[in-house]
């Protein structure tokens, strides 16, 4: 399993931007400066989903598709485009958001086109399960991001209508319910089982792709049966993940400081995530499609189950695998990162479901103030440790260089 230098660079940029996500998260959890405005919350959201997760996904795409000296798209330019869009969110300027959102979409389109080109060169009928999942995941990302830019242009032109609300729901559903789940299942399968092509793996990815599209279309057109179709497809696909990866998960050494335990815990979050999606769809139906009447704690719980439980574990595990041959700087940190991140995200998301959102609460008055920081501090420790390991030279290179 090779990780080219460009993958490591994509991971480094991703970790850098994730620092901002975690810091805003900590301020939001403790409420030390009160409640955050919408611009800062959108910065927290998109620095996490684009800056951290999507830069990390680009790093994985390079590792999967750019072997044997094939050139990958420009990582540094992609990171700059991402950082510019994140800053545009913070600025609150709708024109800047429309402009840099369009540049971000073009960047994403470039990566998708490259993955399609590489898949075609390799032969679509020969793609391994992880590559197929990545291809379908990035396809959904292009669809979801196009909807994102349409929303952004509506805001810039002051052309907001009822339809804008539906489009925001459509965007979020495609990105979280389609893109993230697909790429995550691809990454964990690659690291736990390796690259194989099996009927089970292909069917699982097709079901997840259809589930994401059905969820997004259901939101766009307000068609309730489509939301129920999503639930069925996702439940079946999640059972397939558990059955297919179960034996590898059972063999995991949970006390060993490798990336494998970060991958092996992801199916747990996929199961929790699917239960929360089913609950969300029931709530949307009960609220007759009015998402504003759905408890925000449930939505925020679902968000962090996927963003941190699923994706941050999958990417931290991949970076640990990528730095296996490098000096293990701060070896004591591995256990704190793994247990802190997971105890933190599980307790935080449970509080969001059972107690509710902390929005509007005073400083340190809500259990979120005591659970989310465990996750946030573990994430910051992970960022520092993994960044240092990524920037140190591999053992083979150090042995070859003169003392
Ligand atoms: C080019 C890429 C993207 C663009 C142009 C974009 C644009 C937007 C816009 C305009 C909004 C609405 C903001 C508002 O309420 O004022 C939004 C919200 C959101 N986006 Fe994105 N986004 C992108 C990528 C992503 C990705 C990759 C994810 C997740 C993996 C994501 C998840 C979300 C979520 C969860 C919301 C919140 C929806 C809600 O308020 O219920 N976005 N995005
Ligand atoms: C990839 C990483 C992450 C993403 C994409 C993300 C996304 C989000 C989103 C979409 C919201 C809802 C914002 C709203 O009110 O509209 C939110 C809220 C929040 N986030 Fe994150 N987040 C991430 C990581 C973190 C981390 C590491 C922390 C660490 C402390 C954190 C702490 C919080 C807190 C405390 C809230 C408020 C929850 C509530 O009480 O309802 N997040 N986040």
* Per-residue b or e along 215-242, where b marks 16 or more CB atoms closer than 10 Å to that residue's CB: bbbbbbeeeeebbbbbbebbbebbebbe
pLDDT for the residue numbered 403? 36
pLDDT for the residue numbered 98? 98
Q: Are 44 and 21 in contact (CB under 8 A)?
A: yes
Pocket test for ligand 2, best of 20, 21, 23, 25 (most atoms within 8 A of CB): 25
pLDDT for the residue numbered 173? 93
Annotated domain spans of the chain: 1-91, 252-389
pLDDT for the residue numbered 224? 86
pLDDT for the residue numbered 397? 62
Q: What is the pLDDT along the chain (403 residues), one digit of tens a residue?
A: 568 999 999 999 999 999 999 999 999 999 999 999 999 999 999 999 999 999 999 999 999 999 777 889 999 999 999 999 999 999 999 999 999 999 999 999 999 999 999 999 999 999 999 999 999 999 999 999 999 999 999 999 999 998 999 999 999 999 999 999 999 999 999 999 999 999 999 999 999 999 999 999 998 998 888 999 999 999 999 999 999 999 999 999 999 999 999 999 999 999 999 999 999 989 988 988 788 899 999 999 999 999 999 999 999 999 999 999 999 999 999 999 999 999 999 999 999 999 999 999 999 999 999 999 999 999 999 999 999 999 997 765 655 544 3
Alpha-carbon span 19 to 115, nearest angstrom = 28
Count CB atoms within 10 A of the CB of residue 252. 16
Pocket test for ligand 2, best of 304, 308, 374, 377 (most atoms within 8 A of CB): 304
Determine whether the shortest distance from the Cβ of 167 to ligand 1 is under 6 A. Answer: no
Determine whether the shortest distance from the Cβ of 54 to ligand 1 is under 6 A. Answer: yes
- Give the closest residue to 337 by CA, choosing from 361, 319, 358: 319
Length of the chain: 403
Determine whether the shortest distance from the Cβ of 52 to ligand 2 is under 6 A. Answer: yes
Pocket test for ligand 2, best of 372, 374, 379, 380 (most atoms within 8 A of CB): 372
**Triad 330, 331, 336: Cα angle to 5°:** 90
Ligand nearest to the CA of 101: 1
- Give the closest residue to 383 by CA, choosing from 17, 7, 3: 17
- Give the pTM: 0.96
pLDDT for the residue numbered 67? 73
Q: Are 137 and 122 in contact (CB under 8 A)?
A: no
The first and second tokens of residue 377, run together, are 């501090």
Alpha-carbon span 156 to 98, nearest angstrom = 7
First to last CA, the chain: 29
Q: Are 304 and 348 in contact (CB under 8 A)?
A: yes
pLDDT for the residue numbered 312? 98
């Amino acid at each position: 399993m090779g990780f080219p230098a460009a993958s490591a660079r994509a991971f480094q940029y991703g970790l850098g931007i994730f620092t901002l996500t975690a810091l805003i998260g900590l301020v939001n959890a403790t409420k030390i400066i009160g409640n955050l405005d919408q611009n800062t919350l959108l910065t927290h959201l998109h620095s996490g989903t684009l800056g951290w997760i999507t830069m990390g996904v680009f790093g994985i795409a390079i590792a999967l598709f750019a072997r044997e000296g094939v050139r990958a798209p420009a990582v540094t330019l992609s990171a700059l485009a991402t950082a510019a869009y994140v800053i545009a969110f913070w600025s609150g300027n709708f024109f800047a958001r429309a402009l840099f959102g369009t540049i971000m979409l073009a960047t994403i389109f470039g990566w998708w086109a490259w993955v399609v080109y590489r898949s075609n060169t390799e032969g679509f009928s020969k793609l391994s399960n992880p590559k197929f999942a990545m291809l379908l995941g990035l396809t959904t990302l292009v669809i979801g991001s196009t909807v994102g830019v349409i929303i952004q242009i509506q805001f810039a032109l002051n052309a907001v209508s009822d339809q804008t609300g539906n489009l925001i729901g459509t965007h979020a559903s495609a990105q979280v319910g389609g893109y993230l789940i697909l790429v995550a299942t691809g990454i964990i399968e690659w690291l736990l089982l390796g690259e194989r092509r099996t009927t089970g793996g292909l069917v699982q990815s097709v079901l997840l792709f259809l589930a994401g599209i059905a969820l997004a279309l259901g939101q766009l057109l307000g068609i309730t049966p489509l939301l129920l179709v999503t639930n069925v497809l996702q439940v079946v696909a999640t059972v397939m993940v558990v059955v297919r990866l179960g034996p590898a998960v059972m063999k995991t050494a949970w006390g060993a400081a490798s990336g494998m335990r970060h991958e092996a815990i992801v199916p747990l979050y996929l199961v929790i995530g699917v239960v929360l999606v089913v609950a969300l769809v029931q709530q949307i139906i009960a609220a007759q499609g009015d998402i504003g009447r759905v408890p925000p704690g449930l939505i925020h719980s679902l968000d962090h189950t996927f963003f941190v439980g699923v994706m941050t574990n999958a990417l931290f595990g991949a970076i640990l695998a990528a730095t296996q041959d490098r000096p293990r700087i701060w070896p004591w940190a591995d256990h704190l990162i793994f247990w802190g991140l997971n105890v933190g995200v599980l307790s935080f998301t449970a509080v969001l479901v059972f107690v509710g959102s902390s929005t509007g609460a005073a400083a340190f008055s809500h259990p979120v103030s005591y659970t989310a920081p465990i996750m946030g501090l573990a994430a910051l420790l992970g960022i520092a440790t993994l960044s240092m390991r990524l920037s140190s030279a591999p053992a083979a290179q150090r042995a070859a260089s003169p003392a």
